[in-house]
Amino acid sequence: MVMRPKLAILVSFSGQGGVERMIANLSQSLAMAPIDLDILLIKAKGPHVAALPDNANVIHLRARHTATSIFEVARYLRREKPDALLAVKHRGIIAALQARTLARTSTPISGRLGTTVSAALASKSPRRRARWFSTMRRYYPKLHQLIAVSQGVADDVITITGMSDTRVTVVRNPTVTPAMLSNATLPVEHPWFAENAPPVVLGVGRLTEQKDFPTLLRAFSEVVTRRDARLIILGEGQLRETLLEQAQQLGIADKMALPGFTDHPWAWMHRAAVFVLSSRWEGSPNTLTEALALGTPVVSTDCPSGPRELLSGGDIAPLVPMGDVAALSEAILSTLSNPPEAATLIHAVKDYHQDVSAGRYLDALGLAIDWPHRGQ
């Protein structure tokens, strides 16, 4: 009897973020492969926990934080002896490596990193950045592989840690799923999507500094001086009141709406005239990928990392400098007037389909197996 390889994923589901959704998508595909899948949950909060596959073995750790999960993970490694463990995010990577040392096992541990660390820490104190980078240099070289969600993230890790590029693998996020494509056809209960209504410019993301929606509002205020349009931003966050006040000051409060968070934004994307990513930094922007997969015209800032790779350096859709209001407004106007072919946009994200990504994760983890559902 051939033994099925066992894969463990160490992850914390702490909210509504893209990381949780990507791991749920990845787990759904991996659960169809001829492997035994254990999902070690440090936290189990948010809507994406329910999307974890029923045929995976979900283990709820009793730790309250990633750092305190080390002892339970060590016991798991000694008891179950998985063939590979994938640790998600920086703190998960450190905890998994420390747990392996404590367990005295040789489990190959790989890490998934989904953000451009140097950009995310740019506004932090020099001491905090130095401490974070030092931890990366100490631990990351002990990984079997560091799986980066974009080449920009990979290059950033290599620069910080000095790791060989043979130990850092780029695997695109499992963003595009059958459920996403199906849900895109659902109705949207909002009057701005009525027939013959002005075109809708859409943004999606947490209302935080990273997403830089203030720049999008300023750019949109210039757009509506030249043509009628509406702006909708889906998401919640600490800048909600600031954005509403800014809209009042810009005179666009009646043309801008903040409907809040939805875990199914795809029907909104599908009906938008243009999707805008205004971020200051990303790792691999899932919302931009989703909009492209739906054939929705897009405009993006040239932020680190991901948009330049997704949009082939601006050949597929406009890339504009971060924080450049004039360039962003011109790109939105140009895209509204001359949208690209949907087929070109959809083809750009073929590597981001769920099963394609899952197959490449298995390769990177050293579990190169065949199964009928594997994407090519």
- Contact of 7 with 80, CB cutoff 8 Å: no
Q: For 290-347, what is each residue's pLDDT tens digit?
A: 999 999 999 999 999 999 999 999 999 999 999 999 999 999 999 999 999 999 999 9
Determine the pLDDT at residue 368: 73
Q: Is the peptide bond before 106 cis (omega within 30 degrees of 0)?
A: no
pLDDT in tens, 276-289: 999 999 999 999 99
**Which two three-digit tokens encode residue 109?**
């541990």
Residue 370 has pLDDT above 80, yes or no: no
Distance separating alpha carbons of residues 316 and 335, to the nearest angstrom: 11
Using an 8 Å Cβ cutoff, are 138 and 102 in contact?
no
37 vs 289: CA distance, rounded Å: 27
pLDDT band at 26 (very low <50, low <70, confident <90, very high): very high
Considering only CA atoms, which of 12, 311, 280, 5 is closest in space to residue 122?
Answer: 280
The pTM for the full model equals 0.91
**Each residue's pLDDT tens digit, 38-91:** 999 999 988 889 999 999 999 999 888 888 999 999 999 999 999 999 999 999
Residue 18's pLDDT band (cuts 50, 70, 90): confident
Q: Is pLDDT of 1 > 60?
A: no
Polymer length of the chain: 376
| C-alpha distances in Å from residue 254, one per residue of 136, 192, 224, 257 | 47, 11, 12, 8
Q: Which of 209, 187, 190 is nearest to 200 (CA)?
A: 190
All structural domains of the chain, each given as residue ranges with its CATH number in brackets, are 6-174+353-364 (3.40.50.2000), 178-351 (3.40.50.2000)
Which percentage of the chain shows pLDDT scores above 70? Answer: 98
The three-class DSSP label of residue 59 is strand
- For residue 375, the model assigns a pLDDT of 58
CB 294 within 8 A of CB 269: yes
Helical H segments across the chain, by residue range: 18-30, 70-80, 89-103, 117-120, 126-139, 151-161, 178-183, 213-223, 240-250, 266-271, 286-293, 307-310, 325-337, 342-347, 354-364
Nearest to 25 by CA among 296, 276, 293, 297: 293
